[in-house]
Structure formats: C-alpha cells, structure tokens
Structure 1
Amino acid sequence: MATLVAGANAALTVENPGLDHVVVGLGWESIPSHGPSAELVPFAVMCDANGVAASNDHLVFFNQLVSADASVTFAGEEDQEQIDVDLSRVPEDIAKIVFFVYVDPDVRGKGTFAAVRNSHIRLSTAENREILRFEIPATNMDSVTALIFGELYRHRTEWKFRALGQGYTTGLAGVAKDFGISL
C-alpha cells in the first residue's frame, strides 16, 4: 500500500495489472461540540477532457447514487462513505473523476471544516485490499466549506490517482463553478 502526499500521483492500473474496479473510501472525524456540527456531503464528478462535468447525469451524490452509465456508484459506509468505480465501464469520453466533500448549509446552518480532523481518501480493490491512502494534511480549515480529496484520471490507456486536499471557501457553489456543474 502506498501513502501519498498532496500533489502526488500513483499509477493504479500499471502497478496493479488487471485492476478494473476500485472502491474509493472517503473518511474523516469531527470534534464533538455542544452546538450543531457541519453536515458533510460527499460528491463525485465525472469530467470530460476539458476538466468539467460531462453533464449533470455524470454526478454522483445523495440525490443521484449512481452515474447514468452505472460505472460510479455509492456503495457503503466502511469509511464515512464509499464509492465504487468500475474502471472498465467508465465511458471513454470521461478523462477524470473528482472526489470532494462539501458542507451542506441547508441541514445545520453555515459551517466549515474547522472541526474536521483525520480526513483521508483511500483506494482499495473490490476485495478490500488497500492500494493507496492519502491523509489530508491538518491545516487551518476555519473558512473551508468544500474540500477536493483527490481524483482518478486517465493517462493514455491507464488510470492514475492524484492526491489533492484542495480547499474552497466558496462551498459547493465554488466547486460547481470550477467543474461546470448546474445547481
């Protein structure tokens, strides 16, 4: 198993011949408080070669648990959330799949990642053999309202993973603008 740092890339299918399915685990811990804690919502965006969502049918989140082509689907909660990606079924026009979590202001009011600790993204096989893990560095998250954990992306005919840990102060709206998502 590889442990990555922010900005690092890992060659998934080259280093794991025959790999055609991964489980993406998103996890975090929240510091308990006496007031309401932020409601964190995981999200996956299937992007075209221009780096934007191929369409709103290429989003996977709580209201759309499976992508239109059924290659990306919410699967379980062994971490906080798990998303299955059938790499062999991802359409050729999809260049990358971005995984992020945002604070939903409609559930418990405006919140941030300030009380979130030990965030990670990990990739494992369908048999739960962990391939890689990225522990998101503990930095000041007082104004962060959305966080890109990482992305799966195509490099020629192979799949790779990039560890990101990129925070947004503009929440889902900021991520939606960057990835061309219609809200």
Structure 2
Amino acid sequence: MIAGANAALTAENPGLSEVLLGFGWDTIPSRGAQAELVAMAIMCDAEGHSVSNDHLVFFNQIVSDDGSVSFVDDRDDEEIDVNLALVPADVAKIVFIVYVDPDVRGPGNFSAVRSAYVRVATRDNRELVRFVVPAGDNRTINVMMFGELYRHRDDWKFRALGQGYATGLRGVAADFRIDL
C-alpha cells in the first residue's frame, strides 16, 4: 500500500470479524539511548475525536473498556487485536499511532527508525494488507500515525497514513481531544 490508499477489509473478506494490526521497525544502533517506540490505538467518533480517555489502548491500558481493542505481544514488535464485532457503534474509526517514549529517551524522534510498517492480518495471521511507512527526514517527527481502521457503511476499511507529528503527544492530544 501507499500513503493515502484504502483497502476494503470486510467487503473483500466475508465473515471477517477480528483483525490484528502488527507494527514493526528497525532502529539504527546508537552509542546513547535507543528510541523506545510505543504503539497506541485511539477509538474515535464521527468527528475524528477520541470518544473518551477510556477509548485509548496503550501500555498502561492494554484493553479498551468494551474489550474490542487489546494489546497482544506476539509476532511483531507490537500487536493490537481488534474484534470488529465488539467495537461500539459510536466508534467511527480507530487510529493507530507509534510514538517515541519521552520517558526513556527524552525528546527522541524517528530519525533512527527504518523499515517501519503496519500490517493487517486475520486472527490466524493471514496478512491482508501491509503498509511500509515511507522513509524520510524524520528528525523533527516524534509521533507517527501509521494507519486507521474505519467504518464505511456496514463495512470496515483500512487507510494507510504515514503522517508524522513534530508536536509530539501534545499535538495528538489536541487533535484527538485527549487529556494527557
């Protein structure tokens, strides 16, 4: 996939009710602290804002309150499972971001990150789509939106994003109306 491309998941895979999103990357070794990357899912309403702070899934909150989105650490660097059948009706999309953990590295960035990807697969690990985040000058980027699952009528689709934030988690919090 390329940035901005969409893939019909449930329309092209009848009966698909669960997907896993696998995130991976390589980092250039450094003599100092290594970038510690963290994945997060933000469950959004129709306006693109987080439904609430309880609709975030990350290392401190590994399962959404409704049980539809959860962390699994299995095949990839990070994995998030989504049970599409359990996602509440008021959730229009789920945005997946990866950020440099400021507690580990301080004000780190994506400059040392290579070969970053997100893949969408079935529960039995049959890959449906893969998006490799384009490499670039990411010295000012410390948060990257990898992609999003979104509702389209009665179906679920995946959109490849690859959009970076130089404003960090504060910028994400402002855009998605999250309290940090």
Aligned CA-pair RMSD: 0.7
Question: Percent identity among equivalent residues?
Answer: 62
Is 1:72 the equivalent of 2:56? no
For 1:77 and 1:125, locate their aligned partners in 2 and report how far apart those are by CA, in whole Å.
Answer: 14
CA displacement 1:4-24 (0-9 Å, x = unmatched)? 100000010001110000000
1:33-182 equivalences in 2 (<5 Å): 33-182=30-179
For 1:35 and 1:56, locate their aligned partners in 2 and report how far apart those are by CA, in whole Å.
Answer: 34
Range that drifts further, 105-114 or 43-52: 105-114
Paired residue type of 2:66? D
| TM-score normalised according to structure 1 size | 0.97
CA displacement 1:100-125 (0-9 Å, x = unmatched)? 01112122221100000000000000
Paired residue type of 2:57? V
How many residues are paired up? 180
Instruction: Using the TM superposition, give the Cα deviation of residue 175 of structure 1 relative to its aligned residue in structure 2, in angstroms.
Output: 0.8
| TM-score normalised according to structure 2 size | 0.98
Q: Which runs of 4+ in 1 moved over 3 A?
A: none
Whether the 8 Å contact between 1:38 and 1:109 is mirrored in structure 2 is no
Instruction: Using the TM superposition, give the Cα deviation of residue 166 of structure 1 relative to its aligned residue in structure 2, in angstroms.
Output: 0.1
Paired residue type of 1:30? T
Instruction: Using the TM superposition, give the Cα deviation of residue 131 of structure 1 relative to its aligned residue in structure 2, in angstroms.
Output: 0.4
Range that drifts further, 148-157 or 102-111: 102-111
Instruction: Using the TM superposition, give the Cα deviation of residue 158 of structure 1 relative to its aligned residue in structure 2, in angstroms.
Output: 0.4
Structure 1, unpaired ranges of 5+: none
Structure 2, unpaired ranges of 5+: none
